[in-house]
Structure 1
């Protein structure tokens, strides 16, 4: 078990970098051009605030989630996984407080008929759409949950909700997991999955959408240890982003002010990233106390507590919750990895992604598709595919193929040339340095493994 100690994140400095507004458009264009993210249902004119992840994006998003799972579950002995249902009955959301507290304050402009979140207006008296002043209605609470019907008959008895967070599935399964996993506090339940929020003002590409993926941990601890575990997870989650390539200068920890805290939280801090429009939340780490377990125990009539046989203590564990957005993390990794370089008067665009996140680890590039070179390249590809996700590209000049792989973040390219037929060697090119090494095919897998260091 990992103890609740960790290196402190780098402190904020007065000389923080400026947001790069031009970078946003570059990333959006790259995502469309290289098959990372598409607007959903584009052939029908699109569907606002919904996105589809293309061949490159689907693999990148999977790698982000796998990297999180590796860090939070695979590399720890005190965390287990869960995959809970997306649909939930009203009782769950009544107990959690979502039916009464999960809302945004909305105002309508009586002039242009647009709707806005009151708490996000630059000027609470001026409509940002039409510019008129004094035209807003009184603010009304708008619940963000998606409601639907289960079964063939509509009515109150068939009402269900799409979950607005993955957390509640872990709380309602606390007793099941405690009894079947043989864990005891401190221990955690981790989950990666879809959540749905009927945001009134989605925007900034995949940063704020109505359908998104979360990576959440509920870490159950003895009440007396809650604060030290809260501090541990703050530092640990900050460091995860740094280890995967985001510069510390583009990250910060921001504690919530008292008026920002959720009704259940005694302390919350956000890991924030410097997006092109300014600082935005990547992940929240909250000390939720025993609110959730007590609420579900009260509403369900089930005891949700832990009995320590060694000490004879019986208590309701407190919960520390690191909750990250997978799609927001993907966007931050793309922004942090993007760079442009001039090489021999040619502009080179590079995604310097960490090898663990790169959609393809290796690209196999034969100089010709004709035999016997094509067959040899197929042999090389077959050697690599059991170990890594690989791309295979045999079209256009080799320089253009290198540039394509640079743009999607492939760390290593393996070029099969005409000399390879005789000497049984290939050329391995590094994405970041563009250095090339001649490597025997017989030892290629070992060579690539040492370079990727996954």
Structure 2
């Protein structure tokens, strides 16, 4: 974990990430992307869009509204189903998801250690345990650690709670605490509430009249009624103006399905791609930009005939995983994992995650899901929209491993398309590739460790740094010519003319991932040649300055893929 702290420090120091509203104390879980961060995000996005839209003739793009009306998300199941279980620790006041929490840990003496932030907090927690949570339980305090003396632990079985049985300070009967198989992640505290559902969507109101006035009036009119009744009445008043910040970009695609088919004159198999912000009221924010309430998604909804859906699910699993590996410095740190039946979303019949081995463990960066025709069917039921496809000659393409028994016998065939979705978190992608690229190079005895970001050139924020050997005026004209020739290609190029030795300037750009540095020196003034230095190897090559554009362009070309 020390490495991720060093990396995040580099990101703050060099302009990848800033804490949002830092001068006001910051906002937990919110980050701003600095000059280098916004470039890297854009480069990941561009590579994704190039691969999934521009390189194909069966995918189009769309950009839909972030504000989403209640009926859309009610139909999709998000209002009722888009929840996580929530648990509070009564001792530490932390809130967390039980499915992500660890099991209880005992030390070698059989004690249950609870780690407080400091000694004072440890003493306060001991007092709370003595007086409120577990009176007369034997507790030892060692600095900022509390050691609760445990007699034994009974593990939970098949949905039934287990128990943690504690030793007592006197002859009183042993104290038993319900144990559901997890503790508070940061401290190992077992003093928890029961789990309860928590909806992850941000709700707001779109109304020229302040709905809160109506809430007050409704509540007053319901005086004497039970709290649930008042809540029902309040929700009823607010419902016409209730909108949500979308929890995914997919629903905007589904509700526009018929319009895309009509305006683009297309039919399955085809896809609709979208890039945009989504919002989830996450219970637990963690690991910098890995889990945040506001994030960007790169999503592709690929619509297919039911009898070809399994083939295209397999196809997109392979295509998307290949894209991740193409940009990886350490491909072995990426993997695919199929979901078990009990962890799939309510709409999915199959799901595979692409995961990256972060410093804290494996974490999802993209999911490829077989959504069936759930979403389109739900919107048809709730609106009467016509999402049906009419196929005069239904068949299976020769290269598709389809299911013949699903082809309708009558013609023309009528069906609701199935959907294969790939959904990638842009923020998580950026963090994964930063971790993947981060290297610390030993420079020798007595010298500090040097940071190098070995980012794939297509993802690197700055493509090239052009450096006059010194700040003398004679180097400036050619330096500007080289930089201008690269900028014409749309590559972010900077001129580094600080009064630093050329080696130190190289190292500065190694740290932020710049793949190539071009140096204009005295020989350049004689024969118009410059030196190109490679970030990863340190190899230097002499070329004519007009060849720099071709040299870099060849390295940045997207690979050809016969499967697309």
Q: TM-score, normalised by structure 1?
A: 0.92
Report the Cα offset of residue 131 of structure 1. Answer: 5.1
Range 216-225 or range 433-442, more displaced: 433-442
Secondary structure of 1:189 counterpart: strand
Q: Is the CA contact 2:102–2:184 (under 8 Å) kept in the aligned structure 1?
A: no
Q: Aligned equivalents of 2:444 and 2:555: distance in 1?
A: 26
Q: Distance in 2 between matches of 1:322 and 1:266?
A: 14
Shift of 1:132: 4.6
Query: Counterparts of 1:428-439 in structure 2 under 5 Å?
Result: 428-439=532-543
Identify the residue that residue 12 of structure 1 maps to in structure 2: none
Deviation at 1:234, TM superposition (A): 0.8
1:386-441: per-residue Cα shift (whole Å, max 9, x none)? 11211221112211110111111111111111332222221111111111122222
Report how far residue 380 of structure 1 moved: 1.7
Query: How much has 1:47 moved relative to structure 2?
Result: 0.6
CA contact (8 A) 1:23 1:276 kept: yes
Of residues 545, 550, 554 in structure 2, which corresponds to 1:441?
545
Correspondence for 1:168: 251
Matches within 5 A, 1:175-324: 175-311=258-394, 312-324=412-424
Deviations 1:157-200 (A, max 9, x none): 21110000011011001001011112211111011111000001
Mean CA deviation greater in 101-110 or 280-289: 101-110
Q: Is the 8 Å Cα contact of residues 364 and 381 (structure 1) preserved in structure 2?
A: yes
Q: Secondary structure at the match of 2:518?
A: strand
Asked whether the equivalents of residues 368 and 374 of structure 1 are also in contact (C-alpha less than 8 Å), the reply is no
Structure 2 partner of 1:336? 436
1:27 and 1:350 mapped to 2: Cα distance?
10
CA distance in 2, matches of 1:232, 1:63: 25
- Which structure would you say has the larger Rg? 2
Residue 351 in 1 paired to residue 450 in 2?
no
Distance 1:453 1:179, change over 3 A: closer
Query: What residue number does 2:54 align with?
Result: 74
Report the Cα offset of residue 116 of structure 1.
2.3
Among residues 399, 402, 406, which one is paired with 2:503 in the alignment?
Answer: 399
Deviations 1:306-351 (Å, cap 9, x if unpaired)?
1113441110000001111111111111111111223466543221
Q: Offset at 1:30?
A: 1.5
Asked if the contact 2:88–2:95 (Cα under 8 Å) also holds between the matched residues in 1, the reply is: yes
Distance 1:176 1:42 in 2: 43
Residues 303 and 355 of structure 1: CA distance in aligned 2, closer, same or farther (over 3 Å):
same
Gaps of 5+ in 1: 1-20
What is the alpha-carbon distance in structure 2 between the residues aligned to residue 110 and residue 304 of structure 1?
Answer: 50
Q: Could you tell me which residue of structure 2 aligns to residue 4 of structure 1?
A: none
Unaligned runs of 5+ in 2: 104-179, 212-237, 395-411, 559-564
**CA shift digits 1:206-257 (9 cap, x unpaired):** 1100000111111100001111111111111111111112533111111111
Q: Matched residue pairs, number?
A: 433
Bigger mean CA offset, 302-311 vs 266-275: 302-311
Other-structure match for 1:374 = 476
Instruction: Identify the residue that residue 124 of structure 2 maps to in structure 1.
Output: none
- 437-446 vs 31-40, greater mean Cα deviation: 437-446
* Alignment correspondent of 1:16: none
Measure the CA separation in 2 of the matches of 1:450 and 1:414: 16
**1:389 partnered with 2:369:** no
Counterpart for residue 38 of structure 1: 18
In structure 2, distance between residues paired with 1:322 and 1:393? 40
Q: Would you say 1:108 and 2:88 are equivalent positions?
A: yes
Give the secondary structure class of the aligned counterpart of 2:442: strand
- In structure 2, what is the Cα distance between the partners aligned to 1:267 and 1:131? 35
Query: What's the offset of the Cα at 1:384?
Result: 1.4
- Are 1:110 and 1:136, in contact at CA under 8 Å, matched by a contact in 2? yes
Is the CA contact (8 Å cut-off) linking 2:348 and 2:372 kept in structure 1? Answer: yes
Structure 1 residue 443, shift from structure 2 partner? 2.9
TM-score, normalization by structure 2 = 0.74
RMSD in angstroms over aligned alpha carbons?
1.7
Matched, 1:85 2:57: no
Matched residues in 1 for 2:417 and 2:309: separation? 9
Tell which deviates more after alignment, 212-221 or 33-42: 33-42
What is residue 77 of structure 2 aligned with on the other side?
Answer: 97
8 Å contact kept, 2:207–2:241:
yes
Matched-pair contact (CA < 8 Å) for 2:250–2:299? yes
SS, match of residue 100 in structure 1? helix
